[in-house]
Amino acid sequence: MLRILLKIILGLSFSPWLYAAPESYSILTPQTAIELSWRAFGGTSQAHLDGVTGSLLLDAGNDMHDSISVHIPAATLQASNSLLTYQLQGGLFFDTAHYPMLTFTSTRVVAHGNGRYRIFGLLQVKNVQRPVVLEALLDNAPALTSGSNALSLRATTVISRAAFNMDKFEAVVDDSIVIEIRIRARVG
């Protein structure tokens, strides 16, 4: 029994997970984008946001220490046409003149294996903050550059626009907004 216990202790002392230090990543703004889509007037409408900045702290030894912080300039919102862009950036929806930044801060990151994660956090749009859950997939297969220490993360969620006080035209525009996020980040 003592031998087994000693082997376990010795095995754990050489485990890389025991000594793994948290890795801090910075979001690569030009390679990160957020896509929005929703049903309106019987079809699908789309918009995108870019200029995304932020950081990820990933601790392979303890996912309770993982954190993600993302900042999105609301004025980068571009829709499929200039009229829709104008409406979305105006006071009826995002009101970018008064609320220039959208933010997401994780409260918990849960690993589900095979590069799949569930990210719990708070999304702030305008002056409203609501909990959201992102289904995420970590994809390290295509390295950004040879020898780089980078990661690629894709995540999706669905939010209610009414929950963020953007409930205009509810008769012709669906309340559900699908959000697809592509983040590229590098250690540093």
**pLDDT score for 55:** 96
pLDDT in tens, 3-20: 554 444 544 444 344 446
* Stated length of the chain: 188
Q: Convert the pLDDT of each residue in 70-107 to its tens digit.
A: 999 999 999 999 999 999 999 989 999 999 999 999 99
pLDDT of 56 > 70? The answer is yes
CA torsion, ordered 137, 51, 78, 103, to nearest 10 deg: 70
Q: Is residue 116 part of a domain?
A: yes
Question: Which CATH number goes with the domain that contains 108?
Answer: 2.40.128.110
Domain assignment present for 178: yes
What's the pLDDT tens digit per position in 125-153? 999 999 999 999 988 644 434 445 889 99
| Amino acid making up residue 83 | L
Percent of the chain with pLDDT over 90: 61
Among 26-35, 50-59, 85-94, 146-155, the minimum mean pLDDT is found in: 146-155
> Residue 65 has what pLDDT?
87
Domains: count for the chain = 1
Is residue 14 included in any domain, yes or no?
no
Cβ neighbours for 55, distance < 8 A, ≥ 6 positions apart: 24, 25, 26, 27, 68, 69, 185
Residues of the chain with pLDDT > 70, as a percent, come to 85
Distance CA 93, CA 175 (A): 12
Say how far apart CA 168 and CA 43 lie, in whole Å: 17
Within-domain flag for 12: no
**Residue 6, domain member (yes or no):** no
For residue 124, being part of any structural domain is answered with yes
**Residue 161 maps to a domain:** yes
**Alpha helices (H) in the chain, listed in sequence order:** 2-13, 16-19, 82-89
The pTM assigned to this predicted structure is 0.82
- At residue 90, the pLDDT reads 93
* Residue 74 near residue 37 (C-beta atoms within 8 A): no
pLDDT value for 134: 97
Distances (CA, A) of 160 to 48, 107, 125, 153: 17, 20, 12, 23
What domain range includes position 55? Answer: 20-187
Domain membership flag for residue 10 = no
Residue 22: per-residue pLDDT: 83
